[in-house]
Chain A
Amino acid sequence: MSEHLSAQTIESYADGELAAGRVRETEEHLRECAMCAGKLVAQLQLKRSIREAAWTLPPKNILRPRRQWPAYAALAAAAVLAIVVLIPRPNNELADLHTTILASANPVDVISTDRHTVKPWFEGKLPFSFPIPEFNGTPFHLAGGRVVYVHEQPVAYLMVMKGAHRISLFVGRDVPAPRIDAFESIAWTKNGLRYVAIGDVARADLDGLRVCFRD
């Protein structure tokens, strides 16, 4: 086996900044060496935890003038305000919920891998119902569920695992499509219900999850 990777190499690789010529040898070593692979995982985990812990949503009314502005800025301020009125702010509400729930000590209220437990639990808690598919034979499994509120409307929340990755699936009548940089997400509509899946997984995994819900 080749020599162990330096801390700097692991860090650059995790940041996607390793020189192109060194990527191949690095990946070869990572495949063979559990220790370096472990360090890489820890590095990626730190990155992700920082990203999740360090994100704060802006308040809704942020661009109204707060203080007396210098005269030269008055026109520009008016222009900025006009821009803000015309352009909807990106919606990060679901990404925030996803992060908050994952960070919570009790992320789900009904803890079960069995859809026959989770589905009845939602009854009476939601003004709609939706099928939960059988995940046996798929790469996914159910971890549990809870009810969350989005725009003051109850929305079903399912936590679905893909290996060790947690995917948040929101199901409701009016779930806003997220605009997210930090996670992958997809949204689809079925039987008048909106489904939004968010997770730190590959796009193809989310597409796979959607397929599970189609039948």
Chain B
Amino acid sequence: MTFEELAMPLFASLYNYARWLTGEPGEAEDLVQETYLKALRGFASFREGTNFRAWMFRILRNTFLTSRTGLRATAMQPIEDDDQFVAEGDPETIFLHHADAQLLRQAILDLPLEFREVLLLADVENMSYREISEAMSIPVGTVTSRLTRARAKVRRNLQEKR
């Protein structure tokens, strides 16, 4: 497979992800462009058999994290300790309706960056825990616990607003 064949189908997904990272269309466009340029230059070092999608997302988020917006985002939001999680809020206490899309978007935006990322990769991109762990360079166990916490936070956020 050529770079084009592998990379172009991911375009809309990468852009959507960039929008959620940067929060701003212009910056998201720049980020996606830079990601494709870096990926094109680095394609020779991409090993067949590894996950290309995870590789592209990893390039995108590394590019973002070293950008000015990314540095600001991570400086403001220290990673919370993953180990001390106690499950909270029963899933059944909240039933979402389509009309809540705006509230839901705000709840996703309110998540600390790392939580927002696992949630988007799992639920929007339908990535497996393994793929997410590759894209974010974190262990699978951390993916699981962050995901659980992200969803609990979203649920709690929505419950507070209704």
Contact call B92/A53, Cβ cutoff below 8 A? no
Instruction: Please indicate the chain A residues that have their CB under 8 angstroms from the CB of B87 in the complex.
Output: 7-8
Interface residues of A in 137-173 (CB under 8 A from B): none
Indicate if B46 sits at the interface (CB-CB under 8 A).
no
Indicate if B56 sits at the interface (CB-CB under 8 A).
no
Indicate if B96 sits at the interface (CB-CB under 8 A).
yes
* Cross-chain pair count, CB within 8 angstroms: 132
Tell me what chain B mostly uses at the interface: helix, strand, loop, or mixed. Answer: helix
- The range of chain A's interface size is 35 or more
Contact call A90/B96, Cβ cutoff below 8 A? no
CA distance A17 to B126 in the complex (A): 11
Tell me what chain A mostly uses at the interface: helix, strand, loop, or mixed. Answer: helix
The 8 A CB mask of B116-156 against A (1 = contact, 0 = none) is: 00011011101011000000000000001001100100110
Instruction: Please indicate the chain A residues that have their CB under 8 angstroms from the CB of B33 in the complex.
Output: 62-63, 65-66, 77, 80
Indicate if A204 sits at the interface (CB-CB under 8 A).
no
Contact call A59/B29, Cβ cutoff below 8 A? yes
7 closest A-B pairs (Cβ-Cβ)? Answer: A58-B15, A42-B91, A53-B104, A53-B101, A50-B123, A49-B96, A39-B91
Given A46-B155, A76-B41, 9 other A-B contacts at CB below 8 A? A8-B148, A12-B144, A16-B128, A45-B95, A46-B91, A50-B124, A56-B16, A58-B32, A63-B36
Binding site for B on A (CB under 8 A): 7-8, 10-12, 15-17, 35, 38-40, 42-43, 45-47, 49-59, 62-63, 65-67, 73, 76-77, 79-80, 83-84, 86-87, 89-90, 92, 102-105, 181-182
